[in-house]
Amino acid sequence: MYVTGPGQISVCIGDNIIASLNGGQINCPTLDVFNSKWLNTSLGALNAETWALHQAARASTDRVWAELDPQLGSSIGQQAIRRIISVIRNSNHGGLLVYLPAEMAEEIQEDNPYLTIKYQFLEYDSRQRFLSLTLRIMNTLAEIYGDPDSPGKQVGWQEYVNSKNENIALLDEAIFDVAHFIAALSAVDGAVVITKRQELLGFGGVISGDLDSVGMVAHALDTEGEQSEPVLSEAVGTRHRAAYRLCQRLHQAIAIVISQDESVQIVKWHNGMVTYWDQVPTGVPGF
Is residue 46 situated within a structural domain? yes
pLDDT at 151: 80
Angstrom distance (rounded) from CA 201 to CA 109 = 8
Residue 22 has a pLDDT of 62
**In a domain? residue 204:** yes
For the chain, what is the domain count? 1
Which helix (H) or strand (E) segment holds residue 35: the answer is none
**How large is the C-alpha radius of gyration of the chain?**
19
SS3 120: strand
Q: Report pLDDT for 28.
A: 54
Instruction: For the chain, give the percent of residues with pLDDT over 70.
Output: 88
Strands 273-278 and 154-155: unpaired
Residue 284 lies in a domain: no
Please report whether residue 220 resides in a domain. Answer: yes
CA distances from 287 to 10, 53, 115, 161, 223 (A): 10, 24, 32, 8, 23
Q: With CA atoms as reference, report the closest residue to 157 among 81, 77, 76.
A: 76
Q: How far apart are CA 147 and CA 216, in angstroms?
A: 57
Task: Report if residue 287 sits inside a domain.
Answer: no
Nearest-CA neighbor of 100 among 270, 271, 243, 204?
Answer: 243
Per-residue model confidence as pLDDT tens digits over 204-251: 999 999 999 999 999 999 999 999 999 999 889 999 999 999 999 999
Q: Is residue 85 part of a domain?
A: yes
User: What CATH number is associated with residue 235?
Assistant: 3.40.1700.10
Whether 118 and 204 have beta carbons less than 8 Å apart is answered as yes
Q: What is the pLDDT at residue 107?
A: 95
List pLDDT tens digits, range 173-186: 999 999 999 999 99
Residue 285 lies in a domain: no
Task: Provide the pLDDT for residue 130.
Answer: 93
Tell which residue, 187, 179, 67, 182, has the closest CA to residue 134: 179
Q: Is residue 47 part of a domain?
A: yes
Domain that holds residue 44: 2-278
Ranges under pLDDT 50 in the chain: 283-287
